[in-house]
Structure 1
Amino acid sequence: MLESQVAETTSTVVEPTRRDFLFIATGAAAAVGAAAVVWPFVRSMAPDAATVAAGAPVEVDLSPIAEGQIVKVFWRGKLIFIRNRTPAEIKAAEDVDVATLRDPQPDSARVKPGHAQWLVVYGNCTHLGCVPLGHQGAYEGWFCPCHGSVFDTSGRVRGGPAPINLPIPPYTFTSDTKIVIGQEATA
């Protein structure tokens, strides 16, 4: 008798009812309605399209930066070092035998013509991205405390595991005391 009851219950197919349909339809309508209400709020948190498209160039006034000082600014969320180099730092950078460098590059290729005192470089070590300390290391440029990379006053790698020099962001001088980072000069 028990076997016949089990056979009856397993062979019975339950058909969906009108109540099941209404439950599913109501849930779907509620989900669509909630999305229609929430979407404008979520969308309002996105940055303005003009800001995203423009890449947000940053204008920097160089006049308050003292000789020998390094200033940190951010462009596109990346750290940028602006260094007002002293005549001694410029001479030390120019007197280096480029053939002895790991990533050979003369100092003149790392600054804008007529503006040798201003060095503008990305502020992350090219090894693993740590932030190097200014006026440190054997060459008084930058020293990366994470793994020991050493950069000179031109941002060129002189020791440690860093494979290349500190990169130079796109920038242009708009006057003798102002630069715009994120914009190259047009010829």
Structure 2
Amino acid sequence: MNATVEDIGGDVSRRDFLYLATGAFAAIGAAGALWPLVDQMNPDASALSLATIEIDITPVQTGQAVTVLWRGMPIFVRNLTAEEVEKGKAADVSDLKDPVARLLGSTAELPATAANITKAGKDNWLVAVGICTHLGCVPKGQNPGDPRGPFGGYFCVCHGSVYDTLGRVRSGPAPRNLDIPPYEFIGETKIKLG
């Protein structure tokens, strides 16, 4: 007996439906099984709580600095003296080893001027990631008596990278300036990082 397309048409469409339903059920089951694996990659509550922190800068006097931990990185917060502010402003960007302000979270390539590194009206405050851009060491210069190098900023004793008071690399093997984290002043005595 010869079968025609019309004779088996009902069977073909029912079979197609069963294949589609089985495939859809398997896909939903696989997604349901994979969701806990994907969801566990989200940061936990303790990590999210460190996404932004507030720093009270009241006790930091002119010429002093503090180091805080943010997202596992040391952050240098320094209250620059009037002389350090003027030296930072006077530096010619074309003389810098890295003429770009390294602003975390920004794709803009702004010149490494004091105005682009510090906040307007708060140019005496430097907030920078305290990690040398050469091999990830922590430069000296935060504490009284630390070596600061010829530019009065930071000095990486491991390989000799020298940064100025605004965290701009001036000499040594470091390829770029210290990163500037996203921050803002909230009031006169607090900085919000993140």
The alignment status of 1:151 with 2:163, answered yes or no, reads: yes
Structure 1 equivalent of residue 75 of structure 2: 80
Pair member with larger Rg:
1
Give the partner amino acid of 1:142: Y
Give the partner amino acid of 1:129: G
Q: SS of the counterpart of 2:186? A: strand
Give the partner amino acid of 2:173: P
Q: SS of the counterpart of 1:133? A: coil
Identical positions, percent: 50
The TM-score, its normalising length taken from structure 1, stands at 0.69
Q: Distance in 2 between matches of 1:53 and 1:98?
A: 37
The alignment status of 1:137 with 2:149, answered yes or no, reads: yes
Give the partner amino acid of 1:106: T
What are the Cα deviations for residues 126-181 of structure 1, in whole angstroms up to 9, with x where unaligned?
00011111161001100000000000001000000000000001111111110011
Deviation of 1:58 (Å): 1.4
Structure 2 gap ranges (5+): 1-42, 100-111, 142-146
Q: Distance in 2 between matches of 1:49 and 1:98?
A: 42
Q: Distance in 2 between matches of 1:114 and 1:59?
A: 19
Alignment of structure 1 residues 1-187 onto 2, 5 Å: 49-104=44-99, 105-134=112-141, 136-182=148-194
Q: SS of the counterpart of 2:62? A: coil
User: How many residues are aligned here?
Assistant: 136
Q: Distance in 1 between matches of 2:148 and 2:97?
A: 19
Runs of 4 or more, structure 1, over 6 Å off, are: none
What are the Cα deviations for residues 35-88 of structure 1, in whole angstroms up to 9, with x where unaligned?
xxxxxxxxxxxxx83333454311101110011111100001110000000000
Give the partner amino acid of 2:156: C
Structure 1 gap ranges (5+): 1-47, 183-187
What is the Cα-based RMSD across aligned positions, in Å?
1.6
Higher RCO, Cα 8 Å, sep 6+: 2
